[in-house]
Every structure is written in C-alpha cells, then in structure tokens.
Structure 1
C-alpha cells in the first residue's frame, strides 16, 4: 500500500474546504493562503490542486489562477440519474439480506439525523445523510459502485448542504429516510426501491429549483 504523502493530506483538506463551500468560485484560490493555513510549502499545495483539477473540483486557468469549478444544471441531472439507477439497484438487492444489526445501525443514524435537524445543523445532518446512503453501498460490498457513487456525490456536496439549509428540507429528507428504513424492516424490496426513487428524484428537483 502506498504511503500517505503530504500532498495526499493537503488534497483531502482542500477538498473539504471546497465541499463545505469555504472556497468560492468567484475568486482565485490563493496558494500562499493555503500554505500559511496548513503550515507547509506551496509545492504540495500546487500538486494537490493539479489533482483536484483532474478530478473536476477546480479549474486551472493559465495567467488567471485556480478556481472552484461550478456545477452545471446538466451535471446535476446526470449525477442524480446515475445515483437513482445505482442506489435503487443496491437497496433492492439488500432488502432481504439486512440483519437486525444492520437495521439497528440505520436506526441509530436516523436518530442522529433527527438530533441535527432539531439543532438546525445542516452540516451535521448532511454528514449523517451521507452515512445513511454509504451504509447501503458498503454493505452491498461492490467497491467500484461505492467509489463511483462517492465521487458523484462529492461533485455536488456544496450545493447539497446549501439546499438542506432551506426551510423544511431537513425534515423532508429525514421522513424520506424513515420510509426507506421502514420498507427495509418489512423486507419489502419493491417498496424500498420506490421510496429511494422518490427520495432521490425529490432531491434532484429541489436542487434544480435552487
């Protein structure tokens, strides 16, 4: 296994700043600012930004600088279309195989979602939302699907958090997650698929409405 490098670490930290919306697409990303913030030289910063450019998180524009890449409407549609197809497939496959321990873990996640909702903490809610969906991917056990879905979600992370801040959206997401879990408790594959479909299509529509 490759040893984790300084570039790997700073790549993860810059990516977090992008996903949390702490770096704006309106102004260039300052290598000097990041170097001072992380207490390192500009070389690993530059390498990390090149990697983020290759993955589509930033744009490197010659003679202008590095900018956070905006997500287009067509990309949001495409990302959600892929998520819908894959996550519905996975949840249907898992419907008859989830153990009581699995269901208890998902219930615990919903409790933490509700706690974040009551605090009106969109960031914490979003973390638990990701973990809810991640649980299905990891339990299904297909690493390629898991990595693919993770990358898709990363691309729209920032706008997802902003969408959750809008009144009523956290409550709506929580209730949709609850219905998915209740269908899985009944071992109702068709029902769980239907609930996941409505949940993801609803999320797509809410994002596109802006």
Structure 2
C-alpha cells in the first residue's frame, strides 16, 4: 500500500477498504489494520472514525502553511548560527549537497527526500535549541509527505542542477556570514519548492478515479 501511495498509483483522498485490500493481497484484516496504523503515523493515511482509512489529501492552504512555517524556522536557524558557523560545518554542508546530487541520479525519491532532510537538519542541530530542532524535524517530515504526493521534480524536464544550486548558494552565503543574503535565499528556496509542488496543476497526475476505492 505504501508503495502504491508513494508512486502515485493511488490518488490522494482515495478510501482504502480493508476487505478489498485483503482479497487483493490474500491476507487477513489484522495485518492490514496494523499497516493502516503505521501509514497514519507516517502521515500518509488518515483514519476517520466510522468511515475508514483514506489516503491523505492536503489542501493548498495546508501545504502553503507548512512551507510558511518551515520558512520561519529556517530563517531563525540562519539568524542563530550564521556568525558562528565553522569551516567544518561548511564542509559538512558541502558533503550533504554532493550526496544529494548522487542520490538524485538514482531517482529514488524516498532516499532523495531523506538526504534533503538531513541537509536542513544538520543546520538546525547547530542551533542547539531543542525546540527548534524538534519543530524543524516535524515540519520537514510533514512536507516530505506532501512532496511524495505532489512534487513534480522527477517528472518535469528541468535542469537537474537547479535545486542543488539553491543549496550551494545558501552554503556560500553562510561562508560569507551574509545574513541578509541568507534570508533572501531561504525565501527564494521556499518559493521554488512550492512551484515544484505544482499546486495549480495537481490534477494532471494520472491517478485512478478518486471516486473509486481500493
């Protein structure tokens, strides 16, 4: 079920019917329910009392609000660490960017998103602010769910280096301890990430009919 959702073979909003899934996979309802609970914990499924389980279907406003929260958290991170960031820290950032490039080539979206998350978490961790670190990880995990559902990065004929360039520019701004430049680049990075979500064209994906259930 998870692979079907992540690889967009099941549409957001689709109901996941235990009986039908059990028949298809030839398993009892107990492991299916356990799987549903795990998927809910991962943010991919929403279980509604007396109605059943549904693939999450975030609204445009929810997605934009999540990115807005991430924007504020990353700006706070930049403000806290830009003056004290070390050469070792910059080297670590550079290594994450190179890892990101290599992962992109494999077209493994799960691994790519994890590497991307670790790039941003490496910065949050340098603040040593436990609340900021926790909130950053939670919002990155939530946004990664949205990216898995709607991101068109692997579908569009885009310059493969574009996203990496954004991270490289952020790295150079940290190197120069240029806070104004950093804050501008974070704004730009969030806007580009939202653009890749293709919020105005989500229906272009070839999903199964949303009125059907699995």
State which of 117, 139, 151 in structure 2 corresponds to 1:152: 139
Q: Whose relative contact order is higher, 1 or 2, with alpha carbons under 8 Å and at least 6 apart? A: 2
Unaligned runs of 5+ in 1: 1-13
Q: Which residue of 1 is the match for residue 30 of structure 2?
A: 42
Gaps of 5+ in 2: 202-214
- Aligned pair count reads 192
Q: CA deviation at 1:157?
A: 1.8
Whether the aligned pair in 2 keeps the contact of 1:58 and 1:68 (CA below 8 Å) is yes
Does 2:147 align with 1:164?
no
| 1:77 paired to 2:67 | no
Measured in 2, the distance between the counterparts of 1:18 and 1:91 equals 37
Matched, 1:129 2:116: yes
Give, in whole Å, the separation in 2 of the partners of 1:149 and 1:199: 16
Instruction: Name the residue aligned to 1:3.
Output: none
CA distance in 2, matches of 1:148, 1:59: 21
- 1:178 Cα deviation from its structure 2 partner: 0.5
| Structure 1 residue matching 2:54: 3-state secondary structure | strand
Partner of residue 81, structure 2: 94
From the superposition, tell whether residues 71 and 21 of structure 1 become closer, same or farther in structure 2 (CA, over 3 Å).
Answer: farther
CA contact (8 A) 2:63 2:146 kept: no
CA apart distance, 1:73: 0.4
With the length of structure 2 as denominator, give the TM-score of the two structures: 0.72
Residue 138 (structure 1) aligned with residue 125 (structure 2): yes
**How many angstroms apart in 2 are the aligned matches of 1:147 and 1:40?**
37
CA distance in 1, matches of 2:118, 2:43: 23
> Given the alignment of the two structures, is residue 28 of structure 1 paired with residue 21 of structure 2, yes or no?
no
Are 1:31 and 1:46, in contact at CA under 8 Å, matched by a contact in 2? no
Deviations 1:4-57 (A, max 9, x none): xxxxxxxxxx9x7698457844240649969xx9x99938x7477558658865
Aligned-residue CA RMSD (Å): 3.4
Distance (Å, rounded) in 1 between the aligned partners of 2:41 and 2:86: 40
How far apart in 2 are the matches of 1:19 and 1:142? 34
